[in-house]
A and B are shown apart, each in its own frame.
Chain A
Amino acid sequence: RKEVEQDPGPFNVPEGATVAFNCTYSNSASQSFFWYRQDCRKEPKLLMSVYSSGNEDGRFTAQLNRASQYISLLIRDSKLSDSATYLCVVKRGGSYIPTFGRGTSLIVHP
């Protein structure tokens, strides 16, 4: 089983839709969680960290479920500019090396 797994998609949604991605991780010692956004042929950029209590940033909400070992990203009121690949990143406690999921592709159409 891969350490970090994501549904590659693509998720094809209309503008204004709400879409959710999940990411599962296999190592229960994982302690830090992030969502990165990567545009085509560009470097990944941090979208948001994921905290145990869940956190929200505008239209984006991230949740962590330690019991089931997954994190989620919810995007409300999707915009065309949200089209990108969303990478789940997990870091084990005591390790400085992050592990990336393969990414979930989102396409928002008019």
Chain B
Amino acid sequence: GAVVSQHPSRVICKSGTSVKIECRSLDFQATTMFWYRQFPKKSLMLMATSNEGSKATYEQGVEKDKFLINHASLTLSTLTVTSAHPEDSSFYICSARPHENTEAFFGQGTRLTVV
């Protein structure tokens, strides 16, 4: 079946540094990918929609200059958390779907800890 791969699965970084998370669709092309953040015991919250070849669409309250999204190809989207702070520590998950009405496949998630 369709697979979405996310890397890294876990990262610890110092405050003020930037962290890049990759999301790849392995056996299908995804013109659109989604980035979510999940705090403990909370729901997945959509951060932004990544569009291949164009700017990402950010949800209200999400800083686009802090969470940089690049969707350079039909199989790769990256999320860069710039100048990370401890409050950015969270579980970040990407998803993509082969077609609009099919199920969404999720990456394995990235657990970011900012110290």
Contact = CB atoms under 8 A, between A and B. Distances in A.
Contacts of B111: 41
A96 B100 contact: yes
B61 to A, nearest CB: 15
Contacts of A32: 101
A9 to B, nearest CB: 10
Contacts of B42: 102
B26 to A, nearest CB: 14
A34 B91 CA distance: 22
Contacts, number: 39
Most buried by B among A41, A99, A103: A41
B43 to A, nearest CB: 4
A41 B44 contact: no
Interface stretch (B11-19, B79-87, B102-110): B102-110
Interface residues of B, dominant DSSP:
loop
A87 B44 contact: yes
A43 B106 contact: yes
Interface string B19-50: 00000000000001010100001111010010
Interface residues of A, number: 20
Interface of B: 6, 32, 34, 36, 41-44, 46, 49, 91, 93, 97, 100-101, 103-104, 106-109, 111
| Shortest beta-carbon contacts, A-B, top 4 | A102-B43, A43-B106, A100-B44, A46-B103
27 contacts: A8-B41, A32-B101, A41-B109, A42-B108, A42-B109, A43-B93, A43-B106, A43-B108, A43-B109, A44-B44, A44-B93, A44-B106, A46-B103, A49-B103, A87-B44, A89-B104, A96-B32, A96-B97, A96-B100, A97-B34, A97-B49, A99-B46, A100-B36, A100-B43, A100-B44, A101-B43, A102-B42
